[in-house]
Amino acid sequence: MILIDRNTRVLVQGITGREGSFHTRQMLDYGTKVVAGVTPGKGGQEVHGVPVYNSVKEALKEHEIDASIIFVPAFAAADAALEAAHAGIPLVVLITEGIPTLDMVQAVKEIKDLGIRLIGGNCPGLISAEESKIGIMPGHVFKRGKVGIISRSGTLTYEAAAALSDAGLGTTTTVGIGGDPIIGTTFKDLLPLFNEDPETEAVVVIGEIGGSDEEEAAAWIKEHMKKPVVAFISGRSAPKGKRMGHAGAIIMGDVGTPESKVKAFQEAGVPIAETIDEIVELVKKELG
C-alpha cells in the first residue's frame, strides 16, 4: 500500500459542517485515526468524540498529524489546503468541488513548492483497504488484496474495486485523483509509488476523456513501469463537441481525445478494458 495505513493520523478541516461531520463518522467507523478537526470559531467543541480547534496550527500544538482532509466550501477550500500545507502536514486531501480554477492554479504550485502532496480537488480521496480511509468512498467494497487503483472517476473507482474484490484479487491502495482541470496529483505522480510498493502486483488506471494526464502516464509506463498495468477510459462514446460532466473533460485539438489516450496506452503495451468486468479479466491475465 502507499501513502496511508492504519497508523496515519488525520485532521478534518470543516469537521463541524454537514459533510465533514458525516464523513468523519464514516472514516472513524472504517478504523481511520481521526485525531482532530478544525473549524474557525468552533474550537473547544467535539464531533463524534474528536476535538475541534480554531486553526490547523492550534491542532498541531496538541496532536501529531500525518494527513488532512478538507470539507470546506469552494470559495475557501484552496486557502484551507494552503493552511494545512504551510503548517507542514505532508498529505492534504481536498474533497471540495467547484473550486475556482485560478485559486487551484496558485494553490497547487505553492503546495508543490512546499514539498507537500495534495490529492484533489473534486476527488473522493484515498483508501488503503482494511487499513485507513481518508475520503468519501464506500469502504465496504474495498477488500485487501494486490491491485492498486488510480482513477479520475469516483463512481467507476468503486465499481472497479468491487469487481476486483468479488474476483478475489482485492486492492492495496486506491487513489481518486479528481476530475478537475487543475489537480494536485496525477497518474504520473502515483505510478512510481505503486511501482516500488511490495504489496501491489498490478495497477489499474481509470482515465477519462479530456486533458493529457493519461498520455503522460502512458509515456511513463512505457519507460519505467515494472508491474503490469490495465487501463480503462470512460467517455469513449461521448459525441464530439458535446459538453460533458467533469470540468477536466476538455479536449484541445488531438490531445485529450479517446483515440489519443487509447493509442498512448497501446503504444506502452497497456491492455485497455472495454467494461468494468473486463478490467478483472485483464488483470488476471496480466498476473498469469
Q: Give yes or no: residues 116 and 142 share one domain.
A: no
Q: Give yes or no: residues 85 and 141 share one domain.
A: no
pLDDT in tens, 186-196: 999 999 999 99
Q: Give yes or no: residues 153 and 282 share one domain.
A: yes
Range of the domain at 149: 137-287
Q: How confident is the model at residue 108 (pLDDT cuts 50, 70, 90)?
A: very high
- Say how far apart CA 82 and CA 231 lie, in whole Å: 33
pLDDT in tens, 259-276: 889 999 999 999 999 999
Mean pLDDT in residue range 68-85: 98
Q: Which residues are catalytic?
A: 246
What is the pLDDT, as a whole number, of residue 209?
Answer: 81
pLDDT in tens, 144-186: 999 999 999 888 999 999 999 999 999 999 999 998 889 999 9
Give me the numbers of helices (H) and strands (E) for the chain, helices first please: 9, 14
Per the domain annotation, does 142 fall within a domain?
Answer: yes
Edge to edge, the sheet with strand 202-208 lists 132-135, 125-128, 171-176, 144-151, 202-208, 229-234, 272-273
* Mean confidence (pLDDT) of the chain: 93
Per the domain annotation, does 132 fall within a domain?
Answer: no
The domain that holds 51 is classified in CATH as 3.40.50.720
Per the domain annotation, does 2 fall within a domain?
Answer: no
- Say how far apart CA 147 and CA 154 lie, in whole Å: 17
- Say how far apart CA 4 and CA 160 lie, in whole Å: 20
Q: Give yes or no: residues 106 and 13 share one domain.
A: yes
Q: Give yes or no: residues 112 and 164 share one domain.
A: no
- Sign of the Cα torsion 223, 229, 234, 240 reads positive
Q: Which residues face 148 on adjacent strands?
A: 203
What is the pLDDT, as a whole number, of residue 254?
Answer: 55
Residues near 189 by beta carbon (within 8 Å), at least 6 away in sequence: 117
CB 95 within 8 A of CB 124: yes
- Say how far apart CA 247 and CA 180 lie, in whole Å: 5
Q: Which of 120, 150, 177 is at the close of a domain?
A: 120
Q: Give yes or no: residues 110 and 142 share one domain.
A: no
Q: Give yes or no: residues 161 and 276 share one domain.
A: yes
Per the domain annotation, does 158 fall within a domain?
Answer: yes
- Say how far apart CA 192 and CA 173 lie, in whole Å: 13
What is the pLDDT, as a whole number, of residue 208?
Answer: 87
Domain count of the fold of the chain: 2
The domain that holds 144 is classified in CATH as 3.40.50.261
Per the domain annotation, does 282 fall within a domain?
Answer: yes
Q: Give yes or no: residues 63 and 190 share one domain.
A: no
